[in-house]
């Protein structure tokens, strides 16, 4: 699933072209712009499945009919690698999905055309997501959708344990209590992926995070982050929490759907996965329990990038504006389960999907990912160490993150 961030070692433009550069203005030249009334645009997406592919292609076809331009939508097998190669070969698609973990790499390399100041109603997009796609003070690209994390509960297993709606946990202490009560036999109370994109929420709720708000300073080795990982480690030690691989599943949704987990921490992409693979499993989604510093969740998205090397930048921006209208975002939500990145569209989304209210409400206090050039490698190493949290001192894990992050920040400058 495209919206389920599994942080892996990805091939980026910066990596492929180390030492040779990856700027869109190779040799200082500039791409001549097509000024014809009818232009052909190429679009590259990383699709979560047939529903998303159809939705994007249908929207592109409607835009083509209204604008007079033609649009070809291709589905990438590995969008990070394909984009990197296309930038290197001077032939990028005109518009494309950009993952948040690669955004800064592309922006730093000069591969993206910053068009944010050309969008009149840009303030309607989630402030947190706009921050995630801002580089050097400029909004480079529009977030195409929005995802946050919530606590998903198998309601049949919940009732079987003698719990009611009034027992939904709202604090860490309550989460620990119900997770223990739900752990019995082959069922584990709480199952999550052992990665920063899930466990990082506890850091946020403890009042910590990986960097400061401006992403100019590492804040990983703080007392707050130690408290967060120590809490998670205590759940692991009790057996009330297991990582997805420990119960022979690939992610929290699979653990929930197969009945191996009574609870999981997942984003709104869960709804599509459950509908497709486990349509008979009943579940509810509630806000994540508050930590010592209050409520917290994480926000994820992709943006619609426009290539600086494109000869059709104006038309590509026009297409992106069409693909990110409130009406289109509501259609996409219905088609393949994503949440709108426009605040004006979120009310309609909740009206149509009342079970998603916790995810939508989380947008108001969500923490976005770290978007620093080269930081994807730092997070990959962090994930490796988090997977061994049960037997590793949280202070060591965070000290390593601090050190590795500081090196990335120095290179990023």
**pLDDT level of residue 358 (50, 70, 90 thresholds):** very high
Angle between helices 394-412 and 375-386 (to 10 degrees): 170
E strands within 287-413? 297-300, 302-306, 366-367
Global pTM value: 0.87
Q: Name the 3-class secondary structure at 235.
A: helix
pLDDT, tens digit, 9 for 90 and up, residues 59-76: 999 999 999 999 999 999
Cβ–Cβ < 8 Å for 148, 362: yes
**pLDDT level of residue 24 (50, 70, 90 thresholds):** very low
Our CA angle for 52, 54, 55, nearest 5°, is 65
Rounded to an integer, what distance in angstroms lies between the CA atom of residue 326 and that of residue 9?
A: 34
24 DSSP 8-state letter: S
pLDDT, tens digit, 9 for 90 and up, residues 258-296: 999 999 999 998 988 898 899 999 999 999 999 999 999
Least confident of 154-168, 224-238, 338-352: 338-352
pLDDT of residue 48: 83
pLDDT, tens digit, 9 for 90 and up, residues 84-120: 999 999 899 999 999 988 999 999 999 999 999 999 9
Q: What is the mean pLDDT of the chain?
A: 91
pLDDT of residue 338: 87
What phi, psi does 218 have (nearest 5°)? -75, 135
Mean per-residue pLDDT, 309-327? 97
pLDDT, tens digit, 9 for 90 and up, residues 359-382: 999 999 999 999 999 999 999 999
Rounded to an integer, what distance in angstroms lies between the CA atom of residue 295 and that of residue 11?
A: 35
Per the model's pLDDT, the better-predicted residue between 411 and 3 turns out to be 411
Nearest CA-CA partner of 336 in 94, 28, 45, 8: 45
pLDDT, tens digit, 9 for 90 and up, residues 115-129: 999 999 999 999 989
Nearest CA-CA partner of 83 in 93, 70, 71: 93
pLDDT, tens digit, 9 for 90 and up, residues 177-228: 999 999 999 999 999 999 999 999 999 999 999 999 999 999 999 999 999 9
pLDDT of residue 11: 37
């Amino acid at each position: 699933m495209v919206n389920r961030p599994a942080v892996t070692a990805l091939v980026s433009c910066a990596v492929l072209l180390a030492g040779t550069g990856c700027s869109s203005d190779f040799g200082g030249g500039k791409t001549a712009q097509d000024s014809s009334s009818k232009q052909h645009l190429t679009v590259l997406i990383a699709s979560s499945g047939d529903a998303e592919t159809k939705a994007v292609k249908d929207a592109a076809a409607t835009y083509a009919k209204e604008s007079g331009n033609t649009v070809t939508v291709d589905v990438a097998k590995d969008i990070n690698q394909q984009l990197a190669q296309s930038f290197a070969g001077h032939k990028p698609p005109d518009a494309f999905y950009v993952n948040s973990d690669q955004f800064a790499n592309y922006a730093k390399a000069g591969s993206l055309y910053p068009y944010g100041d050309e969008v009149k109603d840009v303030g309607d997009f989630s402030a947190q997501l706009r921050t995630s796609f801002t580089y050097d003070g400029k909004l480079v690209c529009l977030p195409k959708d929005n995802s946050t994390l919530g606590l998903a509960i198998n309601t049949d297993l919940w009732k079987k344990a003698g719990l009611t709606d009034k027992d939904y946990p709202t604090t860490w202490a309550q989460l620990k209590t119900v997770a223990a009560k739900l752990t019995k036999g082959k069922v584990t109370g709480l199952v999550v992926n052992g990665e920063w994109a899930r466990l990082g929420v506890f850091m946020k709720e403890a009042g910590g995070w990986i960097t400061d708000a401006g992403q100019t300073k590492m804040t990983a080795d703080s007392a707050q982050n130690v408290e967060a990982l120590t809490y998670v480690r205590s759940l692991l030690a009790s057996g009330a929490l297991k990582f997805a691989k420990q119960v022979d599943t690939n992610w929290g949704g699979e653990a929930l759907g197969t009945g191996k987990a009574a609870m999981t921490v997942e984003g709104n992409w869960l709804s599509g996965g459950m509908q497709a693979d486990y349509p008979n499993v009943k579940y509810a989604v509630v806000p994540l329990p508050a930590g010592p510093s209050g409520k917290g969740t994480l926000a994820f998205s992709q943006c619609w990038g426009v290539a600086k090397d494109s000869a059709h930048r104006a038309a590509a921006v026009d297409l992106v504006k069409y693909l990110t209208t409130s009406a289109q975002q509501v259609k996409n939500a219905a088609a393949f389960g994503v949440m709108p990145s426009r605040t004006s569209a979120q009310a309609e989304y909740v009206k149509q999907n009342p079970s998603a209210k916790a995810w939508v409400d989380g947008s108001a206090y969500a923490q976005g990912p770290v978007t620093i050039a080269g930081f994807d490698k730092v997070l990959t190493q962090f994930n490796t160490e988090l997977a061994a949290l049960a037997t590793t001192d949280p202070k060591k894990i965070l000290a390593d993150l601090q050190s590795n992050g500081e090196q990335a920040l120095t290179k990023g400058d």
